[in-house]
Amino acid sequence: MKLIDPILEFQAELRQIRRDIHAFPELCFEEHRTADVIARKLTEWGIPMLRGMGGTGVVGIIRNGTSKRAIGLRADMDALPVQEINTFPHASRNPGKMHACGHDGHVAMLLGAARHLSQHRNFDGTVYLIFQPAEEGGGGARRMMEDGLFVECPMDAVFGMHNWPGVAVGTFGVTAGPMMASSNEFEVVIRGKGAHAAQPHKGIDPIMVAIQIAQSWQTIISRNKNPLDAGVLSITQIHAGSATNIIPDEATLVGTVRTFTNGVLDLIEQRMRTIAEHTASAFDAQLDFRFKRNYPPLINHARETAFAVEVMKSIVGDNCVDAQVEPTMGAEDFAFMLQEKPGCYVFIGNGEGAHRDHGHGLGPCNLHNPSYDFNDDLLPIGATFWVRLAESWLRKE
């Protein structure tokens, strides 16, 4: 593994920064302390910045030479509404909030790259260091773009990175094309007519309507969608009733839909609506259908992905880079940036969890798990990748 020596020498401080951020997690659009930590470090290293983009976002700007070429490197910085069960010293001190997805480590890796790039400047052009708020459901990437990210910081390409538990430390994974799914949610309220459970003929039972809709929806995946196209329709909540002897007035279905293409998403949404409305009508019930598209599918661009793969291989070797990693049905709002700019999103292995300090929870070291902790061994690897990617992209003539 070919890591950058000055970054290795700085690893202990990066670890301290990461664990400090972990101890004080902040939810989407509330990342004021985290943004202040980032800003202090950028200022300490003489890096100018823009603040407030997307609410709490920070963009560091490192220029060198005369080239107008530019690259964007993005790290998310928000935490999750999760109660941490780890008890090691850097565990969350903010009840009900936790860095259970490793955004604390993403920030630290990009800060490590920022320090090295500002001190050595072995490139010709501009590096934009994008510290983004509100990835966890807030759409912070879109908010930064609405606030002029790509106008005030014109860049030729943008790249993102996420730690991936279960994959060995020192390895990377990426694939061209669909990498992560779109994230969408639905809520369907069936309005029937309440009655005594012993006299069901006097009412319109919304629970039976909900059951019929739920079962029929699964035929969208098995009979309407092309079997070669990926798609998931999961009903995750059913709410109805308050007593054993009362047929309620309403029943509610809630859940999520995930796809890798907008065409499949259009099909699923249209069929869900048609089936729900016609089923309700057949039972003389009324229906409210709400479908919300949150994040689009994350589609990596072929040229930029191939470029990133070569950089990874130069650091960890060919055998430690999976250039055709299996896509995931998880979602990521970096997808918004890739709709506007060429680029790619990569996974960096976080290990199996053996790295966790004494006092970690008994659960697995998985993302969004209260026993999770970011692996600090990744810090110099991720920082080295960012540096080599920027230097290669903005290579001096």
**pLDDT score of 290:** 98
Quote the tokens at residue 207. Answer: 């629970």
Any residues with CB less than 8 A from the CB of 275 and at least 6 apart, and which? 213, 216, 217, 220
- What is residue 298's three-state secondary structure? strand
Angle between helix 302-316 and helix 378-393 axes, rounded to 10 deg: 130
Give pLDDT tens digits for 21-62: 999 999 999 999 999 999 999 999 999 999 999 999 999 999
CATH number attached to the domain at 183-295 = 3.30.70.360
Q: For position 100, what pLDDT does the model report?
A: 98
- Residue type at position 220: I
Provide the residue type at 373 as one letter: D
User: Collapsing DSSP states into helix, strand and coil, what is residue 203?
Assistant: coil
Confidence of residue 396 (pLDDT cuts 50, 70, 90): confident
Q: Compute the distance between CA of residue 234 and CA of residue 239 in angstroms, rounded to an integer.
A: 15
Which part of the chain has CATH 3.40.630.10?
Answer: 5-179+297-393
Give the count of alpha carbons within 13 A of 215, CB side only: 6
User: Where does the chain hold its CATH 3.30.70.360 domain(s)?
Assistant: 183-295
User: Which pLDDT value is given to residue 397?
Assistant: 65
Tell me which CATH code domain 5-179+297-393 carries: 3.40.630.10
Secondary structure (DSSP) of 272-303: HHHHHHHHHHHTT-EEEEEEEEEE--EEE-HH
- Mean of pLDDT over the chain: 97
Q: What was the pLDDT predicted at 262?
A: 93
pLDDT of 239-293, one tens digit each?
Answer: 999 999 999 999 999 999 999 999 999 999 999 999 999 999 999 999 999 999 9
Q: What is the pLDDT of residues 69-124, one digit of tens each?
A: 999 999 999 999 999 999 999 999 999 999 999 999 999 999 999 999 999 999 99
CA distance 103 to 350: 12
Q: What is the pLDDT of residue 370?
A: 98
- Segment 317-322 shows an average pLDDT of 98
| Overall average pLDDT of the 367-383 stretch | 98
**pLDDT one-digit tens code per residue, 199-245:** 999 999 999 999 999 999 999 999 999 999 999 999 999 999 999 99
Q: How many helices (H) and strands (E) does the chain have?
A: 11, 16
The SS3 assignment for 278 reads helix
For the chain, what percent of residues have pLDDT higher than 70? Answer: 100
